[in-house]
C-alpha cells in the first residue's frame, strides 16, 4: 500500500455530481485527489472527518476581486466561506485594457458601480499594465488563498478603444467594433475566462454617469462575442435591467447562438413576475441547443445600514450632517446626548418624504430589521423596526436612532431588496431549483460598505439544505450547484468534483453548526479603506490544491492559489502513488 500526502478519513462525501452522500475516505497527492473509497495505507497527514461533510471547494463565478487580487493575497471574505476559486471581472468593470490617461476614469467606474472607494483603488493599484494580457501577467505568479480567474470587462475595453465617445455611450463604428473584438480575442487567447458587459442603469460612475456600455448596440455586442467564439473558448457574462425582457433576451441569445459560446446573465426578482418570463426564454434557448444560464442568488440582495456604513437612516438629516464627518466614537457620544437627538428628530419631522435622500430605502422601517448574530436572512414583517416601534408606542425613526448607536455605533440594520418582493425567499428557491441556473451574484470584493453577500455559499447550504421550514432542497443538489455547475459554467472542468484526478480543492464541514456570522467593519484596505467582512462557523478545514488554507476559520500555512489561465480540461484519473 502506498503512502499518501494526506487522507481525509470517514467523512460523509457529497462529491459535487449530485449523487447521494456516502461515507468514504479521500486520498490526496500532488494537489490532486488520487483515491476515493476505502483508502488503505498511511499518510503524512490525516484529517478525521467522522460525522462531517466532505464537499468540493466552492467555485464562485461572480466576484469583483480585480483590485484586491492585485494588491492582496487573501480573497476574504469569500475564502472564509469555503470558496476555493473566484472569477473576477464581472459586470463589465475592471482595470484593463487601459491607457495611462484613463486610470482615473476606470477608478470612477469601479467606485460608482461596485462601491469600492476611489482612494483605496488609487493607492492599491500599481497600474503596471496597459493591455489585458499585461494585467494577467501582473497577477500571474502572485500567491493567493484561492485560485483567481479573470474576465475582460466591456467598460474598460470600450473606453480604451473609443475614448470620450465610449464614455459618452456613442454608437460604435465598424472600426471600433473590430478593434474591441480584436482586443477581446487577444485577452481570451492570453487566458481570460470570458467577457462581461453591463446594461443596467443601476451601474453608474462615482460622478453619476451611466456605465459606458449601457446602450451598446447589438452589432457591438455580437461582434465582440463572435470574435471570442472564433477562439473556441471563453464565456460571456451580462447584467441588464430587462426593461423589455423579450427584446433584451433576444440580444443575449444572439450573442450566444452566433458565437457558440456559453452566456450567463444575472437574474433577480425585482417587480412582478418578469423573472419567470426570463426563465421561460432561458429554457427555450437551451432546448434549442443555445447554451445559456442565469446566475441567481440564494437569498435577498439587501443593504446593510449603520453608522460605519455608506448608508443609514440618519444620512440625509441636516442636524446629523453636522457631525457626520467625525470619527465613530465621537459621533456616538454626541448622538447619545438627548438634546442632540431631539434636534435630529425635529429635523426629520420637518422634512417631507421627498426631501429624505433615498427615503424609501433608508427609512423603509417596515422592511428593516436589526442584524443579529447569526443574521436572519428571511425576516418577516413582525421582526421589523416598524413592528417593534408599534408595540412600544414609538416612532420608527426614533427607535432606529437608538438602535444605530448600540454596540458603540457598530450596530447594523438590514433591508432586503431584490428577491424579496413577496416578503420571503420563495422566488429565490424557485430560481435555485431551475435546471438552467447556477449560483452567483455574491459580489465578493465589491459594495464594501453596503453589502456583504460573499457568504452566499454558506446561506445556500445552511438555509436551503437545513433551516428553511418549507421549500428545502436536497443537499447533494445544492452542493452541485456551487461546485460542478459553477465550474462548468466557466469552463473549469478540472475542479468541482471529488473524484480521482480532480483538483484537491475540498471543504470539510460541520453541517450542524454551519452558519454565517454577523458582518463587521474592518479598516484594512489600502489607504485605510473600510470594508464589511463576514466570518463563518462550521468550516472545519478548507483545502486548495491539497493544502490546508483555513482550519476552523483561522488562516493556515501556504498560499497555493494562483491565476488560472483559460479553461481547464476534465482530468484523466490520477495514477495511484507507489512506495512504502
* Cis before 374? omega within 30: yes
15 and 43 Cβ atoms separated by less than 8 Å: no
Instruction: Please name the residue ranges forming H helices in 236-382.
Output: 245-259, 274-287, 328-335, 338-350, 359-362
Res. 154: pLDDT tops 80: yes
Can you tell me whether residue 306 is helix, strand or coil?
coil
What pLDDT does 454 receive?
Answer: 98
Q: Which contiguous run of DSSP H or E holds residue 162?
A: helix 154-162
What pLDDT does 198 receive?
Answer: 97
d(CA 132, CA 194): 12
**Maximum C-alpha span of the chain:** 81
d(CA 355, CA 547): 55
What pLDDT does 1 receive?
Answer: 55
State the average pLDDT over residues 408-416.
Answer: 98
406 and 375 Cβ atoms separated by less than 8 Å: no
**Alpha-carbon separation of residue 237 from 221, 267, 454, 469 (angstroms):** 11, 12, 19, 34
pLDDT for 454-464, tens place per residue? Answer: 999 999 999 99
pLDDT for 305-350, tens place per residue? Answer: 999 999 999 999 999 999 999 999 999 999 999 999 999 999 999 8
32 and 501 Cβ atoms separated by less than 8 Å: yes
Domain architecture of the chain: domains with CATH:
3-58+503-555 (2.30.40.10), 64-299+421-489 (3.20.20.140), 303-418 (no CATH)
**Alpha-carbon separation of residue 156 from 38, 95, 304, 398 (angstroms):** 51, 6, 29, 45
State the average pLDDT over residues 349-371.
Answer: 78
Give the single-character DSSP code of 174.
H
Burial environment of residue 532 by CB neighbours within 10 A (0 to 12, 13 to 18, 19 or more) = buried
Can you tell me whether residue 361 is helix, strand or coil?
helix
Helix H, strand E, coil C: the string for 44-103 is EEEEECCCCEEEECEEECCECCCCHHHHCCCCCCHHHHCEEEEECCHHHCCCCCCCHHHH
CA angle (450 as vertex; 199, 242 as ends), nearest 5: 20
Cell readout for 508 is: 470539510
**Bridge partner residues of 366 (DSSP):** none
Residues in Cβ contact with 390 at an 8 Å cutoff, skipping those fewer than 6 apart: none
Cell readout for 34 is: 488520487
464 and 456 Cβ atoms separated by less than 8 Å: no
The strand ranges marked E within 150-245 are 151-153, 194-199, 235-240
d(CA 282, CA 264): 10
pLDDT for 167-201, tens place per residue? Answer: 999 999 999 999 999 999 999 999 999 999 999 98
Burial environment of residue 564 by CB neighbours within 10 A (0 to 12, 13 to 18, 19 or more) = buried
pLDDT, greater one: 35 or 243: 35
Res. 579: pLDDT tops 50: no
* Cis before 79? omega within 30: no
pLDDT for 378-408, tens place per residue? Answer: 999 999 999 999 999 999 999 999 999 999 9
Helix H, strand E, coil C: the string for 87-125 is ECCHHHCCCCCCCHHHHHHHHHHHHHHHCCCHHHHHHHC
**Alpha-carbon separation of residue 305 from 61, 367, 519 (angstroms):** 26, 12, 11
What pLDDT does 114 receive?
Answer: 87
pLDDT for 130-150, tens place per residue? Answer: 999 999 999 999 999 999 999
What pLDDT does 208 receive?
Answer: 87
3-state helix, strand, coil in the chain (%, to 5): 35, 20, 40
| Whole-structure pTM value | 0.96
Res. 78: pLDDT tops 80: yes
Res. 115: pLDDT tops 90: no
Query: C-alpha 36: how far from its chain's center?
Result: 31
Residue 61's closest CA among 467, 329, 559, 444? 444
Res. 580: pLDDT tops 50: no
Q: How confident is the model at residue 359 (pLDDT cuts 50, 70, 90)?
A: low
* Cis before 221? omega within 30: no
pLDDT for 282-306, tens place per residue? Answer: 999 999 999 999 999 999 999 999 9
Cell readout for 516 is: 454565517
Cell readout for 575 is: 495514477
State the average pLDDT over residues 508-516.
Answer: 98
Amino acid at each position: 500500500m502506498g503512502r499518501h500526502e494526506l487522507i481525509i478519513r470517514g467523512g460523509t462525501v457529497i462529491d459535487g455530481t449530485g449523487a447521494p452522500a456516502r461515507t468514504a475516505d479521500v486520498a490526496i497527492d500532488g494537489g490532486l485527489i488520487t483515491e476515493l473509497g476505502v483508502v488503505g495505507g498511511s499518510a503524512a497527514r490525516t484529517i478525521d472527518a467522522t460525522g462531517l461533510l466532505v464537499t468540493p471547494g466552492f467555485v464562485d463565478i461572480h466576484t469583483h476581486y480585480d483590485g484586491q487580487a492585485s494588491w492582496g493575497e487573501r480573497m476574504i471574505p469569500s475564502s472564509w466561506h469555503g470558496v476555493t476559486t473566484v472569477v473576477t471581472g464581472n459586470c463589465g468593470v475592471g482595470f484593463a485594457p487601459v491607457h495611462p490617461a484613463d486610470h482615473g476614469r476606470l477608478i470612477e467606474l469601479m467606485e460608482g458601480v461596485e462601491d469600492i472607494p476611489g482612494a483605496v483603488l488609487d493607492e492599491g493599484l500599481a497600474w503596471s499594465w496597459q493591455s489585458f494580457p499585461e494585467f494577467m501577467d501582473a497577477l500571474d505568479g502572485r500567491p493567493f488563498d484561492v485560485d483567481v480567474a479573470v474576465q475582460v470587462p466591456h467598460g474598460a475595453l470600450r473606453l480604451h478603444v473609443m475614448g470620450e465617445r465610449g464614455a459618452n455611450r456613442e454608437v460604435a463604428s465598424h472600426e471600433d467594433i473590430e478593434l474591441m473584438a480584436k482586443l477581446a480575442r487577444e485577452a481570451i487567447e492570453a487566458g481570460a475566462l470570458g467577457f462581461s458587459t453591463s446594461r443596467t442603469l443601476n451601474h453608474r460612475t462615482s460622478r453619476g454617469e451611466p456605465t459606458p456600455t449601457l446602450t451598446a448596440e447589438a452589432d457591438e455586442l455580437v461582434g465582440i462575442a463572435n470574435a471570442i467564439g472564433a477562439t473556441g473558448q471563453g464565456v460571456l457574462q451580462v447584467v441588464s435591467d430587462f426593461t423589455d425582457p423579450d427584446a433584451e433576451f433576444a440580444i443575449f441569445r444572439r450573442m450566444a447562438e452566433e458565437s457558440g459560446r456559453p452566456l450567463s446573465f444575472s437574474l433577480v426578482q425585482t417587480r412582478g413576475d418578469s423573472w419567470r418570463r426570463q426563465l421561460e426564454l432561458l429554457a427555450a434557448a437551451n432546448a434549442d441547443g443555445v447554451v445559456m444560464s442565469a446566475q441567481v442568488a440564494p437569498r435577498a440582495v439587501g443593504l446593510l445600514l449603520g453608522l460605519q456604513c455608506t448608508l443609514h437612516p440618519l444620512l440625509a438629516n441636516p442636524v446629523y450632517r453636522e457631525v457626520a464627518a467625525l470619527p465613530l466614537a465621537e459621533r456616538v457620544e454626541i448622538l447619545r446626548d438627548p438634546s442632540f437627538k431631539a434636534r435630529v428628530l425635529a429635523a426629520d419631522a420637518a422634512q417631507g418624504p421627498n426631501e429624505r435622500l433615498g427615503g424609501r430605502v433608508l427609512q423603509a422601517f417596515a422592511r428593516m430589521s436589526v442584524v443579529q448574530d447569526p443574521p436572519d436572512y428571511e425576516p418577516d414583517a413582525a421582526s421589523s423596526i416598524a413592528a417593534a416601534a408599534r408595540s412600544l408606542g414609538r416612532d420608527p425613526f426614533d427607535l432606529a436612532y437608538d438602535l444605530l448607536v448600540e454596540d458603540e455605533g457598530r450596530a447594523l440594520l438590514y433591508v432586503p431588496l431584490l428577491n424579496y418582493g413577496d416578503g420571503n425567499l420563495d422566488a429565490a428557491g424557485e430560481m435555485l431549483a431551475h435546471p438552467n441556473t447556477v449560483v452567483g451574484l455574491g459580489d465578493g470584493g465589491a459594495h464594501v460598505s453596503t453589502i456583504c453577500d460573499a457568504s452566499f455559499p454558506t446561506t445556500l447550504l445552511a438555509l436551503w439544505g437545513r433551516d428553511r421550514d418549507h421549500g428545502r432542497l436536497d443537499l447533494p443538489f445544492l452542493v452541485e450547484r456551487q461546485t460542478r455547475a459553477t465550474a462548468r459554467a466557466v469552463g473549469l472542468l478540472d475542479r468541482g468534483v471529488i473524484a480521482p484526478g480532480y483538483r484537491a480543492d475540498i471543504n470539510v464541514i460541520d453541517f450542524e453548526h454551519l452558519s454565517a456570522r454577523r458582518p463587521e467593519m474592518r479598516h484594512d484596505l489600502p489607504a485605510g479603506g473600510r470594508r464589511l467582512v463576514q466570518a463563518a462557523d462550521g468550516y472545519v478545514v478548507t483545502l486548495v490544491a491539497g493544502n490546508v488554507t483555513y482550519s476552523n476559520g483561522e488562516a493556515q500555512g501556504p498560499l497555493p492559489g494562483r491565476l488560472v489561465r483559460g479553461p481547464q480540461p476534465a482530468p484523466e484519473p490520477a495514477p495511484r502513488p507507489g512506495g512504502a
